[in-house]
């Protein structure tokens, strides 16, 4: 099973949803990068369950422990291991799912591939695996800051049919964190919260879109063929649980434009070459062009719902399922730090790759 990601800045996540702990090993982090456990904890606090009425009621403090790779507030250049203990695991709550395949979950496919699966909350297929990603993303952010790259800001831009009105480049983290939906448009945020509440009460779920912008990314990151920056970003975001779609820049909307409308004209302002528009999303020819990186990730409705569904069991018999347990009625609010983390990991990796070859 592949649980590794990255080229030079490489991570390996480990652990199951209802096991003893989850975490990540980070290899390839440069030495002498200022790093404190609080840098990791602030991101895990944004991802943790039980933070509002819109999220799963599972109560986990998600306290980070850095067991290696740092000394006196700096990275050593050696592997960094971050561990988070599971404190509110309830594996017995999933006993009735031992022999049942949950619709749109990984139950059937995991068993088809490995001949065995962890039915306790989904095991590695649980979104709890993303704790390791978010922790590693916090370390990647520290590296990016050290080398002068700007902030990465993600936000919920859509839930179900509700779309936020916001200029992605102008959205601030403070605006995002002011709303439990993590949507900076207060009017849309209120409607999103109401819609999620309605779905939760009905035993249903909703999906939506996270938009993410990376500021201050230098030109030259990425490769021109198989490791294009947008391809790496797409692979990173589509590897997140429940993520089913990826766009960069104009995305699919660009298909409805003429080339004369879509092209990003180059101009010189204050002695710097940049583009007047940013329909490329900050990437051209697979390489960053110095404009903000703008991506969007689409997340499906949470697969576990209380409404009755048709499915089958391991014996091949048709059964009805009304799933119980503690689940998010909408993954979007907690997906924001996950998306930011994956963007940070890709950019950090390619920044180090570029520094290795730059004259």
Contact 37, 94 (CB under 8 A): no
- For 354, other C-beta atoms within 10 Å of its C-beta total 17
The residue segments making up the domain with residue 170 are 4-357
**Which of the pair, 59 or 21, is modelled with greater confidence?**
21
Q: Kindly report the CATH number assigned to the domain that includes residue 322.
A: 3.60.150.10
| Residue 307: pLDDT over 80 | yes
Q: Which of 131, 105, 170, 13 is nearest to 305 (CA)?
A: 105
Q: Torsion angle, CA of 313/315/319/323, rounded to 10 degrees?
A: -20
For residue range 1-38, list pLDDT tens digits in order.
589 999 999 999 999 888 889 999 999 999 999 999 99
Contact 13, 26 (CB under 8 A): no
Count Cβ atoms within 10 A of the Cβ of residue 3 and give its class: 0-12 exposed, 13-18 middle, 19 or more buried: middle
Identify the band that residue 359 occupies on the pLDDT scale cut at 50, 70 and 90: low
What string of DSSP letters covers 206-234?
B-EEEEEEE-SPPTT-S-SSTT-HHHHHH
Q: What is the mean pLDDT of residues 280-287?
A: 98
For residue range 205-228, list pLDDT tens digits in order.
999 999 999 999 999 999 999 999
3-class state of residue 13 by DSSP: strand
For residue range 149-189, list pLDDT tens digits in order.
999 999 999 999 999 999 999 999 999 999 999 999 999 99
Q: What is the mean pLDDT of residues 42-54?
A: 86
Looking at the structure of the chain, the number of domains it has is 1
């Amino acid at each position: 099973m592949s649980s590794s990601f990255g080229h030079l800045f490489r991570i390996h996540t480990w652990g199951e949803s209802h096991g003893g702990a989850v975490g990540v090993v980070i290899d390839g982090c440069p030495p002498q990068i200022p790093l404190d456990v609080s840098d990791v904890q602030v991101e895990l606090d944004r991802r943790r369950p039980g933070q509002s009425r819109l999220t799963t009621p599972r109560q986990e403090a998600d306290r980070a422990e850095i067991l290696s790779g740092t000394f006196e507030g700096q990275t050593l250049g050696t592997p960094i291991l971050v561990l988070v203990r599971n404190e509110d695991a309830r594996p017995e709550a999933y006993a009735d799912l031992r022999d049942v395949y949950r619709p749109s979950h990984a139950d059937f496919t995991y068993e088809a591939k490995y001949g065995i699966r962890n039915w306790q909350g989904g095991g590695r297929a649980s979104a709890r695996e993303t704790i390791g990603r978010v922790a590693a993303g916090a370390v990647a952010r520290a590296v990016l800051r050290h080398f002068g790259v700007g902030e990465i800001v993600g936000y919920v831009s859509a839930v179900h049919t509700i779309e936020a009105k916001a200029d992605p480049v102008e959205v601030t983290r403070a605006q995002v964190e002011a709303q439990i939906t993590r949507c900076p448009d207060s009017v849309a945020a209120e409607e999103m919260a109401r819609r999620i509440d309605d779905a939760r009460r009905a035993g249903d779920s909703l999906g939506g879109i996270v938009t993410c912008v990376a500021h201050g990314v230098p030109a030259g990151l990425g490769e021109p063929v198989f490791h294009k920056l947008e391809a790496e970003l797409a692979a990173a975001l589509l590897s997140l649980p429940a993520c089913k779609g990826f766009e960069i820049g104009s995305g699919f909307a660009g298909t409805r434009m003429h080339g004369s409308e879509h092209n990003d004209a180059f101009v010189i302002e204050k002695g710097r070459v940049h583009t007047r528009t940013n329909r490329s999303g900050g990437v051209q020819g697979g390489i960053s062009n110095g404009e903000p990186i703008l991506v969007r990730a689409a997340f499906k409705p949470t697969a576990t719902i209380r409404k009755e569904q048709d499915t089958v069991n391991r014996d091949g018999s048709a059964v009805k399922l009304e799933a119980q347990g503690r689940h998010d009625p909408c993954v979007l609010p907690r997906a924001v730090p996950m998306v930011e983390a994956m963007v940070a990991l890709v950019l950090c990796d390619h920044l180090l790759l570029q520094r290795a070859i730059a004259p």
